[in-house]
Amino acid sequence: MAILVKPNTKVLVQGITGSFGARHAQLSIDYGTAVVAGVTPGKGGQFFEHGGKKVPIFDTVAEAVKQTGATASAVFVPPAFCADAILEGADAGLDLVVAITEGIPVNDMVKVKRAMEGKRTRLIGPNCPGIVTPGEGKDSHGGCRIGIAPGYIHKKGNIGVVSRSGTLTYEAVWQLTSRGVGQSTCVGIGGDPVNGTSHLDVIKLFNDDPETTGIIMIGEIGGSAEEEAAEWIAKNCKKPVAGFIAGTTAPPGRRMGHAGAIVSGGKGTAEAKIAAFKAAGIGVAVTPSDMADTLLKMM
């Protein structure tokens, strides 16, 4: 099994005719993802062609869902239009919207969060690498890749990975694969201060997934999401969890890379997060290169 997406998940790409969206739609098709539709207003009736496959393009998400049965979308639209794109997916009744776009105004995301309350749609992101459920084929092909993660580093297996950092997601996955250990699903939740899915949301899903036997959780300075997840893990999680916190050398008051990676008012420090991990029985990797080995030793 896997969480959130499976190899047969039907995916549409919002912004499929832009250079970035087109490139990653091609890579997802190459990976074996069931890309069934594209959405670009004003280009309905055209086709996106790649590798012998013709993907129909629609003017709206609602029309694409009605015609193709898509249940998930990847959002590759400019920051100014991303909030509307996310809400269009929610209004169309998608199960999952994965917003890759970076630089969305925080106020836009606050409005999106409020508007999505009570809706069936789950949002991953924004400013995230997306989600991958590896397949059975060579280099894990035949799985579901929504976003920008390099598909070839994945291997089908039983370790769940959740991370705020895209590059550290890839590092953890590659460490596991290099050791012959596969992944159930890998989720990059993004580094913005207001996002759709938290560490805790994903940890709960991994905990309930019978085929996920271990978890790597990667966090960073800023916010309290990692501490909240650690508190829940201590009381409820039935599976070994290893973690890493990025930003131990970051100076207070300075934003580091991600919009949400800022320590202010003495909160959100790496030291506090690491202490919470240790108190919860989470194995703490000292450096990024130790992430996989820390989990495997626990198992």
Q: Quick one: pLDDT band at residue 222, thresholds 50, 70, 90?
A: confident
Q: In this prediction, what percent of the chain has a pLDDT beyond 90?
A: 85
216, β-bridge pairs = 161, 242
What are the phi and psi torsion angles at 187 (to 5°)? Answer: -120, 120
Record the tokens describing residue 52, joined without a space.
């012998």
Domain 10-124 -> CATH class = alpha beta
Q: Is the dihedral of CA 290, 219, 96, 238 positive or negative?
A: positive
Sheet holding 34-39, edge to edge: 47-50, 53-58, 34-39, 10-14, 72-75, 96-99, 122-124
Residue bearing the bigger pLDDT, 112 or 138: 112
Per-residue pLDDT tens digits for 96-122: 999 999 999 999 999 999 999 999 999
C-alpha–C-alpha distance, residues 122 and 98, integer Å? 8
Distance of CA 177 to CAs 157, 163, 180, 182, 287, Å? Answer: 9, 17, 5, 6, 18
For the domain 155-298, what is the CATH code?
Answer: 3.40.50.261
Q: Which residues are catalytic?
A: 258
Q: Does the predicted model carry a pTM greater than 0.75?
A: yes
Q: Do 155-298 and 10-124 have the same topology in CATH?
A: yes
Instruction: Parse the chain into domains and list their residue ranges.
Output: 10-124, 155-298
